[in-house]
């Protein structure tokens, strides 16, 4: 059997590229003219995204932490793992994950591993995400972080991992980091977590884009 692994390709070189809209917040919109292998070219629109990290936090009882947050694009309250954007220029993704676990759940963890990497919607955006597994979880010291807007009220639930898998497979969980995270955690648990990677594993898919707000400030 041939080795199955995603890899970069030079078969579709970009002939021309233009940032057609800069939001000044998180994303930008870029239009590329791409050479096709059979000759000619095609136009492709790309939502340029800084990427994100998520945290599947497991307690000693094998329960996973889920947080409920409103997501305006879909008009729904979604149950999600702690997660956040990689829009702080130069921030290490592991440190970003630790920050999100602290800010959204006021927790810290003694053990961190890479659980799964993914592109969330590669047909339209370059958003890459890394989901970590956090164990040896305990309350964080100090005062709790106070979020704003949608993050001002984030109810939390500790859900048995097997039940979280059932929620995902029955169509009651829709956040991609939650779905892929609980399924990956469950698969790993059955193998005594043998498939985990070290928390500092290389991540070549991580986007160099620091977010539109940072680019806008740099241009002004």
Return the closest-CA partner of residue 76 out of 158, 175, 164, 183: 175
Residue 97 backbone zone (phi > 0: left; psi -120 to 50: alpha; other: beta): alpha
Compute the distance between CA of residue 159 and CA of residue 208 in angstroms, rounded to an integer. Answer: 34
Domains along the chain with CATH numbers? 14-48 (no CATH), 52-198 (3.90.79.10)
| Ranges in the chain, pLDDT < 50 | none
Q: Are strands 63-71 and 107-119 parallel, antiparallel or unpaired?
A: unpaired
Do the beta carbons of residue 156 and residue 79 sit within 8 Å? Answer: no
The tens digit of pLDDT for each residue in 33-58 reads 999 988 999 999 999 999 999 999 99
Cα→Cα distances 200→17, 47, 140, 173, Å: 33, 27, 22, 29
151 is annotated as an active-site residue: yes
Which residue is associated with the tokens 């956090």? 134
Compute the distance between CA of residue 145 and CA of residue 155 in angstroms, rounded to an integer. Answer: 14
pLDDT at 89 (0 to 100): 84
Active-site hit among 18, 60, 104, 151: 151
Structural element, H or E, at residue 159: strand 156-160
pLDDT at 219 (0 to 100): 86
pLDDT at 148 (0 to 100): 86
The tens digit of pLDDT for each residue in 6-16 reads 999 999 999 99
Terminus-to-terminus CA distance in the chain, angstroms? 53
């Amino acid at each position: 059997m041939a080795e199955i692994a995603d890899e970069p390709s030079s078969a579709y070189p970009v002939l021309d590229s233009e940032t057609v809209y800069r939001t000044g917040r998180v994303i930008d919109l870029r239009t590329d003219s791409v050479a096709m292998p059979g000759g000619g070219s095609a136009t492709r629109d790309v939502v340029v995204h800084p990427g994100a990290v998520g945290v599947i936090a497991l307690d000693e009882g094998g329960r996973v932490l889920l947080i409920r947050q409103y997501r305006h694009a879909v008009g729904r309250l979604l149950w999600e793992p702690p997660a956040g954007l990689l829009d702080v220029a130069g921030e290490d993704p592991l440190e970003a994950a630790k920050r999100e676990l602290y800010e959204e759940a006021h927790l810290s963890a003694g053990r961190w591993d890479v659980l799964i990497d993914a592109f969330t919607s590669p047909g339209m955006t370059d958003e890459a995400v890394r989901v970590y597994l956090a164990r040896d979880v305990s309350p964080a010291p100090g005062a709790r972080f106070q979020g704003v807007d949608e993050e001002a009220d984030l109810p939390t639930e500790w859900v048995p991992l097997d039940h979280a898998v059932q929620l995902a497979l029955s169509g009651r969980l829709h956040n991609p980091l939650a779905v892929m995270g609980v399924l990956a955690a469950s698969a790993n648990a059955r193998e005594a977590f043998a498939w985990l990677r070290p928390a500092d594993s290389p991540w070549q898919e991580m986007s160099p884009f620091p977010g539109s707000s940072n680019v806008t400030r740099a241009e002004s």
